[in-house]
Structure 1
Amino acid sequence: MADFRFSFNILTVDSQEKFVETCRQGERYGYDTVFAADHLGHEAPFPVLVAAAAATERMNVGTLVLNVPFWNPALLAREAITTDVLTGGRLELGLGAGHMKWEFEEAGIPWEPFGERADRLEATIRELGRLFKADGYPQQAAARESMGLGVPRPVQRRGFDGTGPPLIVGGTGDRVLRIAAEHADIVAIAGAYQIKGQPPGTFRIGTAEEAAERVRYARKVAGERASRIEWHVLAQLVLETADRRAAAEAVLDRYGPMMTTDELLDTPFVLVGTVEEMAGQIIRNRGRFGFSYYTVHGPYMETFAPVIERVRAEVAGGNAGIEG
């Protein structure tokens, strides 16, 4: 089985000092990666990643995920290469098709049908691979040679067919999961499902049955690649409590009856219970779904930290069947 990795995402940067301490605390807690999102109302992702790497010693940094329609591939390649170099080869590059219609409208970017955005995602992946291995631009060749300058390239050669940093792609639909299964090093099974008949960006949390079906689909598409893929999941909620059922019922009272209480307690996209119970769920989920790479939202970073320690202690002790 794949080793566990754990990560948290940065949702806001209040100050340089607080951001640095948050990243350093995350590293002390044992997190492997810190992620930045790509949404209006959030900080620009690549400066956040460079600053996070400068503040820490070992944590990877990544995007979860970039809205590809926001980016020109040539300019995105420049950002990714620069970030991979400045972070010492710690970048994980997550790409997505975009799903918040209002962001496109606010940015003055045309909102395309999903199929066109998915096509753009795949085309961008292919173009990034080409740009990562290219010998620069011929218009600059003579000037670079005269000054003894090299061609900017990523430090890493693990993703994009061996030309760049590890690639993360994820989603819920067949089209994006097919792209992920065929190209990505890390496949993220998304836990947020668009509610039919509601405006784009109106979501519900997926069930365990939906997660299992989506993993089966992606594995089938990936074929022999499936065993080399790292399977990722984003936990939408982390709630430490001595009474799982009462806490789950309170969640459903607050957010609406998206599923039954038993379904909420079973879904891999929500973690509710004691530290031991949450650790047990994570370990069982690796066997059940293949998930070995967990991300939590930044506000849950401290709450989730003891779970990381517990999971690693149980795995090191050979107790892969921990009860919870």
Structure 2
Amino acid sequence: MRDFRFSFNILDVGSRDALIDRCRRSAELGYDVVLAADHLGAPAPFPMLVAIADATRQRVGTLVLNAPFWNAALLAREIATTDVLTDGRLEIGLGAGHMKWEFDAAGIEWKPFGGRVEQLATMVDGLHTFFTNDFDELPEERDTPRPLQRSGFEGSGPPLLIGGTGDRVLRIAAAHADTVGVAGTFQIPGKPPGTFRLATASETDERIRFVRKHAGGRADGIEWHLLVQMVVETDDRQSAAQSIAERMAANMTAEDVLDTPYLLLGTVEEMVEQLERHRERYGFSYITVHDPYMEVFAPVIDALRGRG
């Protein structure tokens, strides 16, 4: 069973000083990794990660890059340069994208899900190619940068996380990813793209089984990633769960809320017990919380580390 490691995702910069102070504070609280998303309206991930790595000794990563936004050659250059500038502390998360308005705003073609998944698969293969090949067509003095790390992309680059819920994305994750993020969200039929509901505990069981089946001999080496959508410290889990269920407009019952791994509710000790159960049941050992929950989740990290 893997040891826990913990991360949070930065949502905005504000200023350089505010960003650095936030990340230094997270290091004091026990967070191992700082993550950046890849959304219009959010900061550009790579320059932000370089600034963070320059100010702390934490690892940094993307959760997740939208593969259809990128060209493989240009993304390989970004990844390799960032890995060098962070002294080999970069982790790369890749996904297929899910917010149509971002594609529209950027003037990027929005393809049906199958087309975006194909772009993701092509990106994984393309990055591996760019990390391993020498390119004769480049001028001799223009040596293309290479990542420092060799643990991901079939041993040619930084560790690779692939996140998603659907069969096609998870097949790619099973075949290639060092870390698999079972995203825990399902598109609600008939609603605009990006309108999600949370997965139940039983649905998560099924998704984990699916990945393990398709991973074959790789399955026991996979690290399992959990993105916690909400952290609620409370002495009354049942009332908190009922309130959340009512806000979810009949997509989940209170019992679903209490059982799903994507929500943490209760006292610090109860949340510790939840994460220990989730690691035992699903394998989740790499835990991410959203930036607003960084402080409230910190005592849970402390308690888990105290248990050795």
Segment drifting more, 210-219 vs 130-139:
130-139
Deviation at 1:66, TM superposition (A): 0.4
- Give every structure 1 segment of 4 or more consecutive aligned residues whose post-TM-superposition deviation is greater than 6 Å: none
Secondary structure of 2:261's partner? coil
CA distance in 2, matches of 1:16, 1:45: 14
Deviation at 1:137, TM superposition (A): 4.9
The one-letter amino acid paired with 2:41 is G
Secondary structure of 1:117's partner? helix
Which residue number corresponds to residue 42 of structure 1? 42
Which residue number corresponds to residue 119 of structure 2? 120
Q: Could you tell me whether the CA contact under 8 Å between 2:148 and 2:157 is conserved in 1? A: yes
CA distance in 1, matches of 2:104, 2:290: 26
Which residue number corresponds to residue 87 of structure 2? 88
The one-letter amino acid paired with 1:177 is L
Q: Could you tell me whether the CA contact under 8 Å between 1:167 and 1:186 is conserved in 2? A: yes
1:101 aligns to 2:87 (yes or no): no
RMSD between aligned residues:
1.0
Aligned partner of 1:272 among 246, 265, 271: 265
Q: Could you tell me whether the CA contact under 8 Å between 2:244 and 2:257 is conserved in 1? A: no
CA distance in 1, matches of 2:185, 2:120: 19
CA distance in 1, matches of 2:247, 2:182: 25
Which residue number corresponds to residue 129 of structure 1? 128
Q: Residues 147-226 of structure 1 correspond to what in structure 2 (within 5 A)?
A: 151-226=144-219
Which residue number corresponds to residue 111 of structure 1? 110
- Segments of structure 1 that go 5 or more residues without pairing to the other structure are 145-149, 317-324
Q: Could you tell me whether the CA contact under 8 Å between 1:8 and 1:301 is conserved in 2? A: yes
Which residue number corresponds to residue 287 of structure 2? 294
CA distance in 2, matches of 1:3, 1:126: 30
Which residue number corresponds to residue 234 of structure 1? 227
Question: Deviation per CA, 1:269-323, whole angstroms, max 9, x where unpaired?
Answer: 0000000000100011111001111100000000001001111222x1xxxxxxx
Q: Could you tell me whether the CA contact under 8 Å between 1:280 and 1:311 is conserved in 2? A: no
CA distance in 1, matches of 2:226, 2:305: 18
Segment drifting more, 301-310 vs 127-136:
127-136
Q: Residues 74-85 of structure 1 correspond to what in structure 2 (within 5 A)?
A: 74-85=73-84
Deviation at 1:252, TM superposition (A): 2.1
CA distance in 1, matches of 2:138, 2:130: 15
Segment drifting more, 256-265 vs 41-50:
256-265
Q: Percent identity?
A: 60
The one-letter amino acid paired with 2:293 is Y
1:139 aligns to 2:138 (yes or no): yes
- Segments of structure 2 that go 5 or more residues without pairing to the other structure are none
